Amino acid sequence: MYAKNSEEHESRREGSFDPVNPAYEEKQLNNEVAFSEFGEKQDNRSISTGRPTSSTKGVATMIFSLKNEVGGLVRALRLFQEQHINLVHIESRKSKQRNSDFEIFVDCDTDNEQLKELTQLLRTHTDVVEITPFENSTLPDEIMADVPWFPKKISDLDQSSNRVLMYGSELDADHPGFKDNMYRKRRNYFADLAMSYKFGDPILRIDFTTEEVRTWAVVFRELNKLYPSHACKEHLKNLPLLIKHCNYSEDNIPQLEDVSHFLKEHSGFIIRPVAGYLSPRDFLAGLAFRVFHCTQYVRHSSDPLYTPEPDTCHELLGHVPLLAEPSFAQFSQEIGLASLGASDDAVKKLATCYFFTVEFGLCKQDGRLSAYGAGLLSSISELKHALSDKAHILPFDPMVTCNQECMITTFQDVYFVSESFEDAKNKMREFAKTIWRPFTVRYDPYTQSVDVLKDTNSINIMLKDIRHELDIVEDALNRLKKHLSV
319 tagged catalytic:
yes
Strands, E assignment, 300-403: 362-365, 368-371, 393-395
Euclidean distance between CA atoms 310 and 319, whole angstroms: 11
Is 359 noted as a catalytic residue in this protein? yes
Q: Hey, is 131 helix, strand or coil?
A: strand
Neighbours of 172 (CB within 10 A): 10
The number of beta carbons lying within 10 Å of the beta carbon of residue 266 is 17
Distance CA 106, CA 60 (A): 8
Query: Residue 45: which of 75, 72, 84, 19 has the closest Cα?
Result: 19
- Strand 101-110 relative to strand 58-67, pairing: antiparallel
End-to-end CA distance of the chain: 38
Marked catalytic residue, from 89, 230, 300, 314: 314
Pairing, β 449-453 against β 393-395: unpaired
Contacts of 440 (CB under 8 A, 6+ apart): 453
State the DSSP code for 316: I
What one-character DSSP code corresponds to residue 97?
A: S
Q: DSSP for 458-474? A: HHHHHHHHHHHHHHHHH
Q: Are 61 and 131 in contact (CB under 8 A)?
A: yes
CA-to-CA distance for 321 and 328, rounded, in angstroms? Answer: 10
**469 is annotated as an active-site residue:** no
Determine whether 378 is an active site residue: yes
- Cβ-count burial of 248 within 10 angstroms (0-12 exposed, 13-18 middle, 19+ buried)? buried
Residue of 338, 333, 332 lying closest to 440 (CA atoms): 338
Considering 92, 267, 332, 378, which one is annotated as catalytic? 378
CB-based burial, 365-384: b 16+ in 10 Å, e otherwise: eeeebbbbbbbbbbbbebbe
Q: Which of 25, 65, 319, 382 is catalytic?
A: 319
Of 212, 234, 315, 359, which is the active-site residue?
359
List active site positions.
314, 319, 359, 378
